[in-house]
């Protein structure tokens, strides 16, 4: 897996899958999602790099980190601490490799956090976790607990079907390639702030 600059965030270099990488051996028939750049993660990383004050000096959780693009952006932008969570141990291995390639430190949090309480962080960053209804429901419940604990929540997503859109404030919109798109594609995607549920 060659180390390449990310097209939408060239400050970050990642080891990404290609047809000869042989990564399907790890994931069977499914492509290893953590070895690709997804649209929501790309735009959230871009937003963080362009708005460093969002994370500077703060403790940040990259929820569903995949290959770590969002956490790496937060670390490069001056976050005090970055945690990366993912259910796939291979994803966290990719985060470690990619973080080292970008000369940043990211602490792994293995497992599914969505059933537990809010971690001790200032900001939760979520890229591309609203592609399935059951996952979106679990993630939203977890994010609500994080909001209640005082954390801020940023979401990057190309307007997937299960976004809690009524509770989102658009902070920025970008045309960016999404997972499976060619490098010149421009899928609309946005960075959102999640508002607490109405009382």
Which among 95, 98, 115 is positioned nearest to 107, based on CA atoms? 95
Cα–Cα distance between 112 and 100 in angstroms, integer?
24
**For residue range 36-60, what is the model confidence (pLDDT) as tens digits?**
888 999 999 999 999 999 999 999 9
Q: What is the largest CA-CA distance in the chain?
A: 52
Could you give the angle at the alpha carbon of 49 between the alpha carbons of 47 and 51, nearest 5°? 65
At residue 164, does pLDDT exceed 60?
yes
Q: What CATH number labels 38-194? A: 3.40.50.150
**For residue range 184-199, what is the model confidence (pLDDT) as tens digits?**
667 789 999 999 987 4
Handedness of CA 175, 44, 52, 14 (dihedral sign): negative
Question: What is the helix (H) or strand (E) element at residue 75, kind and residue range?
Answer: helix 69-76
Mean pLDDT is lowest, of 20-24, 46-50, 127-131, for 20-24
pTM flag (> 0.85) = yes
More confident residue, 157 or 186: 157
Could you give the angle at the alpha carbon of 52 between the alpha carbons of 104 and 41, nearest 5°? 70
Could you give the angle at the alpha carbon of 68 between the alpha carbons of 63 and 70, nearest 5°? 70
Q: Where are the domains of the chain?
A: 38-194
């Amino acid at each position: 897996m060659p180390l390449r600059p990310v097209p939408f965030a060239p400050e970050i270099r990642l080891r990404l899958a290609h047809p000869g990488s042989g990564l399907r051996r790890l994931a069977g028939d499914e492509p290893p999602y953590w070895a690709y750049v997804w649209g929501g993660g790309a735009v959230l990383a871009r937003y963080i790099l362009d708005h460093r004050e969002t994370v500077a000096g703060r403790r940040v959780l990259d929820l569903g980190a995949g290959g770590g693009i969002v956490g790496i952006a937060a670390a490069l932008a001056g976050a005090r601490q970055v945690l990366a969570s993912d259910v796939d141990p291979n994803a966290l291995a990719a985060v470690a490799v990619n973080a080292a390639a970008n000369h940043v430190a990211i602490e792994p949090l293995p497992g599914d956090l969505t059933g537990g309480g809010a971690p001790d962080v200032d900001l939760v960053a979520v890229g591309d976790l609203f592609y399935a209804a059951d996952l979106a429901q679990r993630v939203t419940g977890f994010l609500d607990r994080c909001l209640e604990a005082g954390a801020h929540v940023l979401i990057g997503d190309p307007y997937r079907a299960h976004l809690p859109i009524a509770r989102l404030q658009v902070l920025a919109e970008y045309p960016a390639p999404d997972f499976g798109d060619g490098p010149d594609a421009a899928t609309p995607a946005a960075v959102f702030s999640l508002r607490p549920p109405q009382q």
